[in-house]
Structure 1
Amino acid sequence: MYLMEKILIGFLIFFSLFASAQKITIEGVVTDSLGSALEMANVVAINIETKGLDGFGITNPEGKYKINVKANTMYNLRFSYLGFEPKEYTISVAESDIQKNTILVEQAENLDEVEVVYEMPVTVKGDTIVYNTDSFVSGTEKKLEDVLSKLPGVEVSDEGEIEVEGKTVTKVMVNGKDFFDGDSKLAAKNIPANALDKIEVLRNYSEVSQLRGVTNNEDNVALNIKLKTGKEKFWFGEITGGVGLDDRYLAHPKLFFYSPKYSINILTDVNNIGELAFTNRDYRRFTGGFRTRTGNTGTSFSVGEGGLGLSQLQNNKAKEINARFGAINFSYSPNKILGLSGFAIYSYSNTLLETSAKRSYISSNEEEITTTNTDQTSNLGLLKFSASYKPSENLQVEYDILSKFSGSEENVDNLSIADVTDQITENKEQTPTSVNQNANVYYTLNEDNILAFEGQYLIQTEDPFYNAIREVQPFVNILPLDDTQSNFDINQERKVKTNKLDFKADYYYVTGAKSNINFTLGVTQSSQDFDSRIFQILDDESKLSFADNDLNNRVNFKFSDIFLGFHYKLIAGNFTINPGIIAHNYQAKNEQLGTKVSNELVNVVPDLFINYKLKESENIRFNYTVTRNFSDIEKFANAYVFSNYNSLYQGNRDLESALYHNVSLNFFSFSMFNMQNIFARLNYSKRIDAFKNNSSIVGINQVTSTINSNLEDEVLSGSANYQRTFGKIKVSARASLSYSSLNNIINNNPSISESLTQSYKGSLATSFKNAPNLELGYNYAINNYDNGGNETTFYTSTPFIEFNASFLKNFIFKSDFNYYKYNDAENTVENEYGFLNADVSYQKKDSKWEYSIQLTNLLNNTELNQDTFNELFYRTSTYIVQPRYAMFKVTYNL
């Protein structure tokens, strides 16, 4: 660790010296002929000798600008502002700062606005920010995510999630056409960097133009990628193939076609080097662009796939991963009023996992050591078709159908060492399917009256199968197993069928230039059937079925929510105020064991949204919501269901709803004047009559049910992010904290579980065009858990370095290193490891061929660590990852 600290200190000194190298500042004020300040005017400094862009700036609300340039250099200083005649000055920069004010005169006739906008590195026009990518890249970038990370105010996570000014990007388009329904990860990790021309950030984005002025879109951000071509119809893309030692291989053909009327995107990926293009997590979160219909109605009712809890990857790493991925996306506009689009996605993966873990059970003071080997095979598929009809600005009609299907199988060998030693084999299979249809109509009667109708219908089936073969009989008092057999072969079948309808009608009446009212009428209807049974396979392969009601479920559950809402939106000065109230009539009924249990409830919940605009691109936002939460059928099913080999779940047919209060306060600030981005969030939630686990635990075996508890849960979380560009150096700092106090019931004894998690990150990154670039940073995480007075704390320190450089004209070298130090407060767990990757590529100028060598996990680290906690136990684990490998790759660019 001391070596890493010395390296970081050395690099920090280097950055400090470089940042303090002699730079001259040109600053001043831009006004119009009346002396009024011009905000968002563009100023660029063009090096007369090199013809390159050495600096640029954008004026703030006071018309001030500031540019850092080189000393002893001649510059053309250009000023421009849409609707005004541009001005240019020749300036000789010596070794002292320069003050240069200018007055722009309004032009008689508009120039070509597109030409003026696209000359500038950054242009702001209303809610749209346009980045000229050539002004920010160095030539070492390969994918869209590499380019986005260079832009001020933009951040990209390792998972490909894009944030702009602290807000998550909800849609990505290419030349105005949705890219796989706007999925940010597929776009960030697949669109080639050399195809990009401009990136448009669309703030306050609304997919329905008619609703833009009457709804709150402040958190909606979309990206539109402009491609680098002047052709009307064109193909672009790349075909990559690679081979390596130990029979490693990869193939990544990616083809894109764009024209004014239609587009096609084809993505493929075949490899055995641990790269997953589409994960199980991606599959679950992928909505296909479906907007949530009941997200803001004061009701939370989910019928998400229950499944089997398949093993998850850590940091997208595993002992071995063999993956295949194929996807095609199209869009077609036969005329200006009709748009058709769709996609098909298929993903296959075979994953080997190996984990060693220690569980410390709170109530029983038992300790379990497990060694787990998992072989998981997953097939995932999605099909989507969409149609949009917009014959006029007053009418928009949409239809979507999304089908999701998957087949997963997992075989687990588990050695459990506790008070007894047990060799356990688990087998899990599931093939869930769903079809979701969506229809929307938006109609503007006149400038004061707007109607919106939105409907969604879901059909979903689930069939998880679970099998455990054990040497030791579990749950002796619950499962009447035949103990004369050579082992205990326990099986469980489950089937869940769901039909769910959501419909919402909105009427918007514009009461003035800055106010409107909104009436909402909606309904959610759901019907579910749940069947399950537990049985034993005997040595002669016959089935031993159990007639006990506690081991067989046959449940029907119906849920209904009819609601009526009213909201008023007012813009008063810098305030936007949007209070509302929603009245609900709920009915829930479950039928099982020959009897029915019904619940009816009338509930009225308020909500409040306030936005205060401090200045352009700076605001404070307050949001308060009350949500009534309902569970789906599986928590009502009275018979036992296996969660895993040592855990049973029993539903509660008398379960009622829970009430959640949520308050959030957000601050956003983005300044083009000094390239500074600040955002902070504070969130508090309180759960009343919350769903609580009521657990009974003997040794390591646990039986859990869900109850409504009058013990209130509280969660307080906050985060802050600071990002600023100083010349060619980008400084970032982020901190997040989360405190939760949760009540649990274990062996009929109330218990409080408290956790405090802290995460801190700081980094410095350069963005030189003709010099090597470096990013270095430090992550520090503290996870403190206090479970009924049993406290433990885990620490993870992660310094990291990324380096990329062009050399010998045609070569590019890229490398990244992440070092981990993991330990608990008592130092009973301690581990240090690092991951070093490198890539060297060669491509002649104007050549379509690129050759590269990819080196992964150069230090041959074999494991990483993770800690988790719940109301029953702490868990710390060691997770085996793929060893070092080297690949030779060839890429052909179309």
Structure 2
Amino acid sequence: MKNLLLLLLLLAGCSTAFAQSPRFTIRGSIADTNKAVLPGATVMLLTPKDSALVNFGRTNDKGAFEFRNVKRAPYILKVSYVGFLPLQKEVDPGDGDVTDLGTLEIKPIQKELLEVVVKTARAPLSIRGDTIEYNASSFKVPAGSTVEELLKRLPGVQVDQDGNIKAQGEDVKKVTVDGKTFFGTDPKLATKNLPAEAIDKIQIFNDKTEAAKTTGIDDGKREKAVNLALKESHKRGGFGKVTAGAGTKDRFQLRGNYNRFNTKEQMSVLGFGNNINQTGLSWDDYQDFRGSQSFNWEDQGDFGFYSGGMYFFGGDDGMGVPLTGGYSSNRGFSRNYAGGANYNYDTKKTKLSSNYFYNQTGQTLSSTSNKQTFLPEGTFVTISGNSQGSFTRNHRGSARYEQQLDSLNTLVLIGNLRANSGNNAQFSNQNFYRAADTSQTNLDNRNNFNGLQLATTAIFRHKFLKKGRNFAASVAFNLNDSDGTAKQRSTNTFFTDSTGAGPTVVRINQDVTNSSLRTELKSSLHYIEPLTKTMFWETFYNFSLRNDKVDRDVFDLTDQGAVRNRNLSRYYTNDYTYNRVGTVLRYSDKGFNISGGLAGVWYKLAGRFASDQSATTFTNVSRQYFTVAPNFSGNYRLKNKSMGLYYNVNIQQPQTSQLQPGVVDNSNPRFIQEGNPGLLPSLTHNLNGSFSSFNPGNFVNYYLSLNYGYNINQIVYNQTIDENLITTSRPENISGGTRVGSYLNFGFPLKKTKATLNLGSSLNFNKNPIYINTVLNDTRSDNYNFRVNLDLTLFDKFTLYPYFNWGITDTRYSINSSQNQKIYNHNYGGAMNIQFPGGIFFNGQMNYQIYKLKNERFPFTQKLPILNLAVYKQFLKDNKAEVRLTAYDVFNKNRGITQQAYQNFVQKEEVQTLAQYFMLSVSYNVRGLKSQMRQNNGW
């Protein structure tokens, strides 16, 4: 709190310093040569010396503008308006408090086609409708900075400590490079890897959905997008970066990337290796490193509005291959290697995107945990010590080919392939305490796995001669083949001190083999008929036929050899048939969009299972389910304001792992999981509303959203805990779970180009029912979060980005109110950049986390100040080389400590993880070719 007060005093001092300087006001109005006023014209105030942006705004409805409280000095006033030549005027403040420039006239472009106009200042930004274009060179960042650092400097843009981007208060969902989705669906891969010096312009706009782009019918839905326009020197040449570093405690890192562009082709390669817990990529790295026009998971031809359904790669579903290790920087120690390449070809009629990527991760993890579980009749405590070692390797490849056959027909072919293998070893010592009773379990489990996954899709689109009439058809084939072996060893000792009986010892010594195969054939049809210029009728049909086969064999290792355990072994097949037919009526005109639709959904499950595939008698499981799914969407956009209201019913089919009949997972004999073939699909009624506003004149923006959800037949894992503290969980349907939430973001400049303040809040209230030993337990969790972000650029060589987050979670339990708890999770920190004389740069990042749990029996407090510091200098011609000294976790306080609250237990876990180390690294930048070199379309 003391540091916070000091920071506020510093800010107040800065504001006072600004206020004490001699100030004056600049005003005027903008009109065309016919004296007609021009509302919405972009007006910027620049310094004559270096054209740095001082202030900016837009003219009001009367064409007037005004800059108040401006420091008394000469300026350049620049005016831009679509269809008119830019106007530039020198401003001399004079001696008065107000400098009135009167009415300034700008000329239409078409009347000056033969005139050569030389401008002495390039506009730092321009505003056209809902698109804001920033001139990257006008916003100075330290040498060697990435695009992420550049984005932080832009008015109206915020980047948090994790690299997530907000523009005008809304989350940025997509980042493109020269209009192409160069880095797939993860914006951070582009912003964290591309150098700021390669960027010419940054354009922020509201992008239409892929469906609206394809059909030409505006559905009113938008997502905030950023386009990075490259400099000409980088478009026609190569650029990249290579980094090598060595540190204390045998730490190392190697990283490199290289990119080449021309008007039709793009090629990229990257690779890295390290033992500092950095994979360098997101969880879905295989789809995020794909390049131009890359495949995304919404491009599978599943036409019609969203209402849930089946997903091939949506989690492993009990069928896929586990991915372990290296994905969190505060858990264990990992060694990571990866490399990949992609190639993209893009012309007016043909688009090809292809890539291959390989990565491997080895992880070691050692942890201790303290867990308290509460039951209707009492509680018990589990104290565990765990160690784990894992190794995974993944090969991933994908390709997307789009061909415009003619002006009316388009064909899209998509293929994705993934191959995985690895192993895992887990050791655990678990001690259970309840009153005078104690028991113990020692685990030694090892497994190996292999997997192959394939997803292919073909989409055909046809536009009729009648405008707005469209037809599309798709077919897809998916394959998921995996197998593995496991060794399950455990010793379980049960003590019953209350009766004086001796200990009971149960040992498990088993080998398990498991193989699974899933095939799926899918197809969809979609037709749009325009009823009028503003009314459209849509109809769609979705079909899927899926077959799952699982063969699980469990062998007890005895003195007589391996004996098959018929109770735990299982062979089964499931056939899923899915049909959905629906219709939508849509109205779209002048920013107002409303649609209402209805779909009939029919599921059929036909399963057969037995203890062995050679069994003469199989048990059949047959289920059919039909429901109606409504959908409503309404939104209205007016200039820079929008509001929307949405309602839908999400239908989610049970996963195969949840339906497994009679299959018991006893890999941890204290926590038994079993399937339930009688599960029904779950339904969630969702209602969402939103309102956003952005003023491009003063850059004040706010965004508000509200959401509500109600669950019917929600799939939860009810638990039964017996007298030996063995927990058996079984998925079952239950109704009554609810979700209510809100989100608010409000941002405004304290001083344009110098200081921007962003305030945010989110409130969420959840109710989750679950049965514990046949007693209904309603867990209510209320979450309150408030945050403050401040972007300060006092001058070009000093930037500061402090942030403050306050979070409170209030959890209450109906069956044991004494375990109610409040968790306080606060984060204070920021980032600072300083440029010293001699080309020396300093960077500091601080994250101070305060975590406090208030509970009658299980209180916990944790304070973690994590400080990273770096100093670096660039050298060689054009600053192509860089040497950097970095100190990670200066205070040596990083601890992998987590405290979590679930539906019937709270748990504290401490994991040994990477803490303080120092690293010296050298980087070499490959710059783009100079613009005067090779101006052809080749490499």
The TM-score, its normalising length taken from structure 1, stands at 0.91
* Change over 3 Å in CA distance of 1:281–1:573 after alignment to 2: closer
Contact 1:210 1:394 in 2 (8 A): no
Match of 1:102 in 2: 104
* Change over 3 Å in CA distance of 1:37–1:366 after alignment to 2: farther
Structure 1 letter corresponding to 2:335? N
Structure 2 letter corresponding to 1:559? Y
Q: Please give the alpha-carbon distance, in whole angstroms, between the structure 2 residues aligned to 1:355 and 1:837.
A: 25
Q: Please give the alpha-carbon distance, in whole angstroms, between the structure 1 residues aligned to 2:43 and 2:464.
A: 45
Q: Please give the alpha-carbon distance, in whole angstroms, between the structure 2 residues aligned to 1:874 and 1:597.
A: 37
Match of 1:480 in 2: none
**Within 5 A, what are the aligned runs for 1:386-397?**
386-397=400-411
**Within 5 A, what are the aligned runs for 1:818-829?**
818-826=847-855, 828-829=859-860
Are 2:377 and 1:358 aligned?
A: no
Are 2:424 and 1:410 aligned?
A: yes
Contact 1:652 1:707 in 2 (8 A): yes
* Change over 3 Å in CA distance of 1:660–1:373 after alignment to 2: same
Secondary structure in structure 2 of the residue aligned to 1:366: strand
Which of 143, 147, 158 is 2:146 aligned to? 143
Contact 2:184 2:288 in 1 (8 A): no
Residue 153 of structure 1: CA displacement?
3.7
Match of 2:578 in 1: 561
Q: Please give the alpha-carbon distance, in whole angstroms, between the structure 2 residues aligned to 1:686 and 1:759.
A: 23
Residue 875 of structure 1: CA displacement?
1.5
Q: Please give the alpha-carbon distance, in whole angstroms, between the structure 1 residues aligned to 2:910 and 2:677.
A: 39
* Change over 3 Å in CA distance of 1:9–1:200 after alignment to 2: closer
* Change over 3 Å in CA distance of 1:652–1:172 after alignment to 2: same
Are 2:150 and 1:133 aligned?
A: no
Match of 1:876 in 2: 908
Match of 2:681 in 1: 657
Match of 1:435 in 2: 454
Contact 1:756 1:783 in 2 (8 A): yes
* Change over 3 Å in CA distance of 1:160–1:410 after alignment to 2: farther
Contact 1:58 1:65 in 2 (8 A): yes
Structure 2 letter corresponding to 1:595? T
Match of 1:791 in 2: 820
Residue 247 of structure 1: CA displacement?
2.2
Q: Which has the higher mean CA deviation after the structures are superposed, 793-802 or 42-51?
A: 42-51
Are 2:535 and 1:499 aligned?
A: no
Match of 2:500 in 1: none
**Within 5 A, what are the aligned runs for 1:568-647?**
568-571=585-588, 575-593=592-610, 594-613=618-637, 615-638=638-661, 639-642=663-666, 644=668, 646-647=670-671
Residue 657 of structure 1: CA displacement?
1.7
Q: Over residues 597-617 of structure 1, what are the superposed CA-to-partner deviations in whole Å (9 max), with x where a residue is unaligned?
A: 22223322211101022x312
Match of 1:226 in 2: 229
Which of 307, 320, 328 is 1:298 aligned to? 307
Structure 1 letter corresponding to 2:473? F
* Change over 3 Å in CA distance of 1:255–1:667 after alignment to 2: same
Match of 1:832 in 2: 863
Are 2:359 and 1:347 aligned?
A: yes
Q: Which has the higher mean CA deviation after the structures are superposed, 693-702 or 729-738?
A: 693-702
**Within 5 A, what are the aligned runs for 1:737-776?**
737-776=763-802
Q: Please give the alpha-carbon distance, in whole angstroms, between the structure 1 residues aligned to 2:25 and 2:453.
A: 60
Q: Please give the alpha-carbon distance, in whole angstroms, between the structure 2 residues aligned to 1:20 and 1:526.
A: 70
Which of 918, 925, 934 is 1:893 aligned to? 925
Match of 2:730 in 1: 705
Match of 1:253 in 2: 256
Are 2:354 and 1:322 aligned?
A: no
Give structure 2 stretches of 5+ with no counterpart: 433-437, 497-502, 611-617, 927-939
Contact 1:474 1:701 in 2 (8 A): no
* Change over 3 Å in CA distance of 1:739–1:210 after alignment to 2: closer
**Within 5 A, what are the aligned runs for 1:461-610?**
461-463=481-483, 465-472=485-492, 488-538=508-558, 542-548=561-567, 551-571=568-588, 575-593=592-610, 594-610=618-634
Contact 1:453 1:506 in 2 (8 A): yes
* Change over 3 Å in CA distance of 1:664–1:859 after alignment to 2: same
Residue 630 of structure 1: CA displacement?
0.8
Contact 2:326 2:336 in 1 (8 A): no
Secondary structure in structure 2 of the residue aligned to 1:189: helix
Q: Which has the higher mean CA deviation after the structures are superposed, 277-286 or 859-868?
A: 277-286
Secondary structure in structure 1 of the residue aligned to 2:859: coil
**Within 5 A, what are the aligned runs for 1:261-276?**
261-276=264-279
Give structure 1 stretches of 5+ with no counterpart: 477-482
Contact 1:204 1:220 in 2 (8 A): yes
Match of 2:937 in 1: none
* Change over 3 Å in CA distance of 1:861–1:106 after alignment to 2: same
Secondary structure in structure 1 of the residue aligned to 2:188: helix
Match of 1:123 in 2: 126
Q: Please give the alpha-carbon distance, in whole angstroms, between the structure 2 residues aligned to 1:93 and 1:643.
A: 79
Q: Please give the alpha-carbon distance, in whole angstroms, between the structure 2 residues aligned to 1:128 and 1:401.
A: 34
Structure 2 letter corresponding to 1:658? S
* Change over 3 Å in CA distance of 1:358–1:774 after alignment to 2: same
Question: Over aligned residues, Cα RMSD in angstroms?
Answer: 3.2
Q: Over residues 746-794 of structure 1, what are the superposed CA-to-partner deviations in whole Å (9 max), with x where a residue is unaligned?
A: 1111111111122221121113552311111211121222223331111
Match of 2:929 in 1: none
Q: Please give the alpha-carbon distance, in whole angstroms, between the structure 2 residues aligned to 1:855 and 1:114.
A: 52
Are 2:879 and 1:859 aligned?
A: no
Are 2:669 and 1:669 aligned?
A: no
Structure 1 letter corresponding to 2:310? F
Q: Please give the alpha-carbon distance, in whole angstroms, between the structure 1 residues aligned to 2:698 and 2:238.
A: 39
Contact 2:599 2:628 in 1 (8 A): yes
Q: Which has the higher mean CA deviation after the structures are superposed, 818-827 or 11-20?
A: 11-20
Q: Please give the alpha-carbon distance, in whole angstroms, between the structure 2 residues aligned to 1:16 and 1:207.
A: 46
Secondary structure in structure 2 of the residue aligned to 1:843: strand
Residue 399 of structure 1: CA displacement?
1.0
Contact 1:496 1:528 in 2 (8 A): yes
Structure 2 letter corresponding to 1:121? P
Match of 1:47 in 2: 47
Q: Please give the alpha-carbon distance, in whole angstroms, between the structure 1 residues aligned to 2:14 and 2:473.
A: 56
Residue 858 of structure 1: CA displacement?
0.8
* Change over 3 Å in CA distance of 1:861–1:314 after alignment to 2: farther
Q: Over residues 607-630 of structure 1, what are the superposed CA-to-partner deviations in whole Å (9 max), with x where a residue is unaligned?
A: 1101022x3121111110012221
* Change over 3 Å in CA distance of 1:496–1:825 after alignment to 2: same
**Within 5 A, what are the aligned runs for 1:674-685?**
674-685=698-709
Q: Over residues 194-244 of structure 1, what are the superposed CA-to-partner deviations in whole Å (9 max), with x where a residue is unaligned?
A: 211112334233446753532536233443321123476201111111112
Contact 1:8 1:776 in 2 (8 A): no
* Change over 3 Å in CA distance of 1:209–1:362 after alignment to 2: closer
**Identity percentage of aligned residues:** 20
Structure 1 letter corresponding to 2:85? E
Q: How many residues align?
A: 881
Secondary structure in structure 1 of the residue aligned to 2:263: coil
Structure 2 letter corresponding to 1:289? N
Q: Please give the alpha-carbon distance, in whole angstroms, between the structure 1 residues aligned to 2:755 and 2:71.
A: 18
Residue 498 of structure 1: CA displacement?
1.6
* Change over 3 Å in CA distance of 1:115–1:456 after alignment to 2: farther
Q: Over residues 513-555 of structure 1, what are the superposed CA-to-partner deviations in whole Å (9 max), with x where a residue is unaligned?
A: 3232211122122221223243334589x4342112xx12222
* Change over 3 Å in CA distance of 1:204–1:253 after alignment to 2: closer
Q: Which has the higher mean CA deviation after the structures are superposed, 810-819 or 711-720?
A: 711-720
Which of 767, 789, 814 is 2:843 aligned to? 814
Which of 471, 475, 490 is 1:451 aligned to? 471
Q: Over residues 819-843 of structure 1, what are the superposed CA-to-partner deviations in whole Å (9 max), with x where a residue is unaligned?
A: 1221111482112121100111111
* Change over 3 Å in CA distance of 1:554–1:262 after alignment to 2: same
Q: Please give the alpha-carbon distance, in whole angstroms, between the structure 2 residues aligned to 1:93 and 1:143.
A: 38
